[in-house]
Amino acid sequence: MQYTHLGRSGLSVSRLCLGTMNFGPKTTEEDSFAIMDQALAHGINFFDTANVYGWKKGEGITEKIIGRWFAQGGDRREKVVLATKLYGDMGDWPNTGRLSALNIRRSVEESLRRMQTDYIDLYQMHHVDRDTPWDEIWEAFDVLRTQGKVLYFGSSNHAGWHIAQANETARRRGSLGLIAEQSLYNLAVRDLEREVIPAAQAYGVGIIPWSPLQSGILAGALAADAGGDRRLSRADEVERRRPQLEKWEAFCAELGEQPADVALAWLLSRPAVTAPIVGPRTMEQLDGSLRAFDVSLDADALARIDEIWPGYKTAPEDYAW
């Protein structure tokens, strides 16, 4: 396994992050335990979850699964860089969601209890809260860091100017600020390249891409469809992107590589990217994701990929002179 620092921090994380969103809804607890054990065996030390995962309001099903896995011992908790998120509603009463100081305090305590741990390595804002001042958010975060309950903070689904706002407010307060931004980023969705990635580079924020295969579309969707595998949830997008996908899958065949492996390898080559999140439902999917480290993309291959999946220039050059 390859390791790198998360953003400008001294925290060492694997270059693949284990996403746990499927644990509970799609993957049984027994299989989830096996996948997490296998991830450690592969050297993956970076696990990501969220308080809303499990998709039954207020229950935190996925965090509970992780907590019961930690409770087995064997230094499982000590080996894992644990990331979770807050923002979504965990109840029907006011202040059970978003980023007020009250909800931050409650949410961290609930996540700690569910995951049977006394600290969280990376605590992430799952979305922007436009109604809560940054000073209030950082005051609540600073208390958690002083208490030793959270070590680092990150954002998710934030724009470039949100990253700037957050880190400038933190700077004024003498706080470390954000070290990570978790965003939708893959070959089919490259909007981050305009402003989020430049902001992340300027502030030393590591990018953690979610949905690196665009829900499987980049993983050989046409071949899967031809083989009768219709599990893809985005059939309309497959049809809309069919000309690109035909070129993409033909190019990967030229390389002698699986499309999913090439898509992950491309993300690993991108500036500011720390670790794409792989969210396996099965052990086979987890094991397969490691093949990306064996894929070599030279300048010509990267240029071909850009022809198939055009990206963006840094703003404002992308839309102005």
Residues with catalytic roles: 53
Query: Which of 226, 247, 245 has its CA nearest to residue 237?
Result: 245
Instruction: For residue 14, give both structure tokens.
Output: 């694997």
Half-sphere exposure of 285 (CA within 13 A, CB side): 19
DSSP β-bridge partners for residue 18: 47, 278
Q: How far is CA 73 from CA 15, 68, 169, 194, in A?
A: 25, 10, 39, 44
DSSP characters for 76-92?
Answer: HHHH-EEEEEE-S-SSS
Q: Which residue has the tokens 């093949």?
A: 291
CA angle 250, 2, 263 (to 5 degrees): 20
Residue 305 phi, psi (nearest 5): -65, -40
Helix (H), strand (E) at residue 267: helix 259-268
For the chain, how long is the longest CA-to-CA vector?
Answer: 58
- What is the residue type of 122? L
**Residue 318 neighbours by CB under 8 Å, 6+ apart:** 193, 194, 312
DSSP percent split of the chain into helix, strand, coil, nearest 5 = 45, 15, 40
Which SS3 state, helix, strand or coil, does residue 246 take?
A: helix
Query: Which of 102, 144, 125 has its CA nearest to residue 52?
Result: 125
Q: What sign does the CA torsion over 133, 136, 141, 146 have?
A: positive
